[in-house]
Structures are given as structure tokens and as C-alpha cells.
């Protein structure tokens, strides 16, 4: 990963499904030769991560929709684009589709 790589953070309640989704997203990024850093964290730690690290896009697991309200002011202030992950893509662990969703955020 070089200095130009974009960082995508996924947050969710527990992290097990999101960890699998991150792996599938990384595979899709490798296949497409995209220079991105993708990782996940529990929603409870999101604010601390956003304070410490440069995040280019935030994707939120469907079960953590309530976190948008908690983080919204901070995300808007720091101009971090965010979006709720599509429920079907999340349920199917469709890394390619969720990566596409993240790439749209990165272009904003």
C-alpha cells in the first residue's frame, strides 16, 4: 500500500460477518488492482478510530444503522463520506458489490 492508497473502514456490532466481508472486499480489490486499505472495527470504537486515523470512507453494517446518528456530526465535520451497507450485499458477503459501494464514496 502506498501513500496514495485510500482507507475504507467498515463498522458493525460484533465483527464476525464484517471480517469475512472485508476479506472478500480485499480479494475483489486485488483482482481489480485497486490500491485500498480495507479493515473493520466494532462500532463502539469508530469515534476513536476517526479521531486517530485518516479514513477516506466509512461503511456501516446494516445492523448498526443507529450508529449513523451517533457519528453523523463528527463525520460531517471531518468530511468523511459514509453509507449504510446494502442489506443483501452484506448478507451475501458480496465483497465486489460492497467495494463498488465504497468506491462511489471515494469519488465524492
CATH number of the domain that 11 lies in? 3.40.50.2300
6 φ, ψ (degrees, to nearest 5): -90, 145
Residue 29 is predicted with a pLDDT of: 98
Domain membership of residue 15 (yes or no) is yes
Domain count, the chain: 1
Domain membership of residue 108 (yes or no) is no
**Residue ranges of the chain with per-residue pLDDT less than 70:** 1-3, 15, 108
Domain membership of residue 107 (yes or no) is no
Domain membership of residue 93 (yes or no) is yes
Residue 16 is predicted with a pLDDT of: 74
Q: What does the DSSP 8-state code read for residue 90?
A: H
In angstroms, the CA 89 to CA 28 distance is 14
Domain membership of residue 1 (yes or no) is no
Domain membership of residue 68 (yes or no) is yes
42 φ, ψ (degrees, to nearest 5): -65, 145
Domain membership of residue 49 (yes or no) is yes
Distance of CA 40 to the CA centre of its chain: 7
Q: Could you tell me what percentage of the chain is helix, strand and coil, using 3-state DSSP and rounding each to the nearest 5? A: 55, 20, 30
Residue matched to cell numbers 467495494: 99
**Cα pseudo-dihedral 2, 26, 101, 95, rounded to 10:** 180
In angstroms, the CA 92 to CA 2 distance is 30
Question: For the segment 85-101, what is each residue's pLDDT rounded down to a tens digit?
Answer: 999 999 999 999 999 99
Q: Which residues are catalytic?
A: 12
Domain membership of residue 69 (yes or no) is yes
Amino acid at each position: 500500500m502506498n501513500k496514495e492508497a485510500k482507507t475504507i473502514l467498515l463498522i458493525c456490532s460484533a465483527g464476525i460477518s464484517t471480517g469475512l466481508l472485508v476479506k472478500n472486499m480485499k480479494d475483489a480489490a486485488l483482482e481489480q488492482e485497486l490500491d485500498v486499505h480495507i479493515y473493520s472495527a466494532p462500532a463502539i470504537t469508530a469515534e476513536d478510530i476517526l479521531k486517530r486515523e485518516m479514513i477516506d470512507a466509512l461503511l456501516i453494517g446494516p445492523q448498526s444503522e443507529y450508529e449513523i446518528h451517533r457519528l453523523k456530526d463528527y463525520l460531517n465535520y471531518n468530511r468523511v463520506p459514509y453509507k449504510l451497507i446494502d442489506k443483501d450485499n452484506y448478507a451475501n458477503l458480496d465483497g465486489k458489490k460492497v467495494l463498488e459501494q465504497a468506491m462511489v464514496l471515494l469519488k465524492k
